[in-house]
Amino acid sequence: MPTTAAIIPAAGSGSRMGLDHPKQYHLLAGIPILVHTVRVFTSASCVDMIVVVVPAERVESTVNLMADHGLSGANLQVIAGGERRQDSVKAGLDSLNAGVDIVLVHDGARPLLAPDLIDRCCDAAIEYGAAIAAVPVKDTLKKGGPGGRILHTVDRKDLWQAQTPQASRLSLLLAAYDMAGEREVTDEASLLELAGTDVHLVEGSETNIKITRPDDLIIAEKIMQNHETSSEKIRIGHGYDAHKFASDRALVLGGVTVPFEMGLAGHSDADVLTHALCDAILGALGAGDIGSHFPDSDQEFLNVYSVTLLERVVDIAAQRGFVLSNADITVVCQKPKLAPFVPKMKEILAEACGVDLGQVNVKATTTEKMGFTGRMEGISSHAVVLLAKEGNCK
Ligand SMILES: Nc1ccn([C@@H]2O[C@H](COP(=O)(O)OP(=O)(O)OP(=O)(O)O)[C@@H](O)[C@H]2O)c(=O)n1
Ligand SMILES: C[C@](O)(CO)[C@H](O)COP(=O)(O)O
């Protein structure tokens, strides 16, 4: 298979959207538009590498943003764009190594493309040299003149509205750029046509919209709701943690200080039950674990009340549009007996997660003196959670 690179131009200012930030960073269903777009390309089997082209001042923050959403690695590069879309695309082309055969250019502001459209554009570029996504014009078109007067009607027969991806052999697009010089274009096909390259049409979709004006966000939200697969509506996660007993510590479990002659060792308050719940939520999000978000090398978290960490984890989920549907936690503890404290634990954890009491369950068990917990070396805990997209959890 030819080596294929995707270039995602996302360095625009989004002036027509009228936001105080570039539209490609605006949240769509709780996730930045650009993250949605890049995610589709990371799942495309024909794409070997992705170059995201962003405003120069946002390169570093975009790298972090992608990593926060589990998008990182040698095959995902973020580089600075240029003044015009075509300059940003050229910056992407210049970043590619000579081994790339096919290049797909796709607007970062088009997050709703279907993965199969990427494959079809790629296949067409391999077959014909160049191909773009497009949809047949369905409205009657008018040429407007001064004062909004109609000059004439444009025959819409055989007219197509160009979209992206716009795909071609890398060599053809580089040659087209060389030939075009400073000519202003609004898509790659224009350059290829000017260079005499036959460009083929691949039927796209009306849902592959470019988010350009405020109304487009309303349309995109609705399309996203219909697109969301079950994995984007609900997410399951598991968390596990264990801590050793320590004589000079308080025993904190589920946010409750439990009277006992020993506590648990740890950088924080070592609340093993709450840590397992944090890891289950982060696991459901694909967002790492408690150690990656609250490192035990950071003085900020020395002896921290772990329920405050849980609140921050719940915020991370909320930023991605997820709320806790329910949690089931099992703490494995030979001694002390925890049953009297379970109701308070549930109350504290439910409040921290912003859910009803019935959505958080806490169970305590011994191991009949088997294993490290049975030998009173420490306490462990498992947690399982179900997260749901806002509006889908009841
Ligand atoms: N200098 C530029 C201008 C645009 N783009 C990208 O090209 C795509 C399509 O451009 P458009 O929708 O016009 O985005 P903006 O230029 O940001 O919008 P506006 O024209 O409203 O300012 C977008 O993903 C945009 O980020 C880019 O990478 N570099
Ligand atoms: C490339 C494109 O999306 C095809 O429709 C369109 O030309 C981009 O235009 P913009 O003004 O840069 O959004």
DSSP string, 226-282: HH--HHHHEEEEEEEEEEEEETTS-EEETTEEE--S-EE-SSS---HHHHHHHHHHH
- Apex 279 CA angle, 111 and 32, nearest 5: 15
SS3 category, 345: helix
Beta bridge partners of 239: 383
Is pLDDT above 80 for 394? no
Select from 104, 135, 108 the least CA-distant residue to 122: 104
Q: At what angle do helices 306-319 and 272-285 cross, to 10 degrees?
A: 10
| ipTM, interface predicted TM-score of the complex | 0.94
The owner of tokens 């943690």 is 241
Which residue spans of the chain are classified as CATH 3.30.1330.50? Answer: 233-389
Q: Mean pLDDT throughout 186-202?
A: 96
Digit-coded pLDDT (tens) for 215-251: 999 999 999 887 766 667 889 999 999 999 999 999 9
Amino acid 134 reads A
Q: Could you tell me the pLDDT band of residue 393, with boundaries at 50, 70 and 90?
A: very low
Does ligand 1 come within 6 angstroms of the Cβ of 10? yes
Given the CA of residue 85, which atom of ligand 2 is nearest to it? 12
Which residue spans of the chain are classified as CATH 3.90.550.10? Answer: 4-227
Does ligand 2 come within 6 angstroms of the Cβ of 59? no
Of all residues in the chain, the percent with pLDDT exceeding 90 is: 86
Q: What is the pLDDT of residue 320?
A: 87
Q: Sign of the C-alpha dihedral, residues 181, 182, 183, 186?
A: positive
Which of 24, 90, 186, 205 has the most ligand 2 atoms within 8 A of CB, as the residue to mutate? 186
- State the alpha helices, DSSP H only, in 228-289: 230-233, 272-285
DSSP sequence for 119-134: HHHHHHHHHHSEEEEE
Residues composing the chain = 394
Q: Could you tell me the pLDDT band of residue 1, with boundaries at 50, 70 and 90?
A: confident
**178 token code pair:** 């060389």
Is pLDDT above 80 for 288? yes
* Protein fold of 4-227: Spore Coat Polysaccharide Biosynthesis Protein SpsA; Chain A (3.90.550)
Q: What is the pLDDT of residue 364?
A: 97
Q: Mean pLDDT throughout 21-45?
A: 94
Question: In CATH, what number does 233-389 get?
Answer: 3.30.1330.50
Residue 182 CA to ligand 1 center (angstroms) comes to 18
Residue 257 CA to ligand 2 center (angstroms) comes to 59
SS3 category, 168: strand
List the end-to-end C-alpha distance of the chain, in Å, as a whole number.
Answer: 46
Mean pLDDT of the chain: 94
Q: What is the pLDDT of residue 112?
A: 95
**103 token code pair:** 């290049």
CA distances from residue 156 to 141, 187, 388 in whole angstroms, order as listed: 7, 20, 44
SS3 category, 137: coil
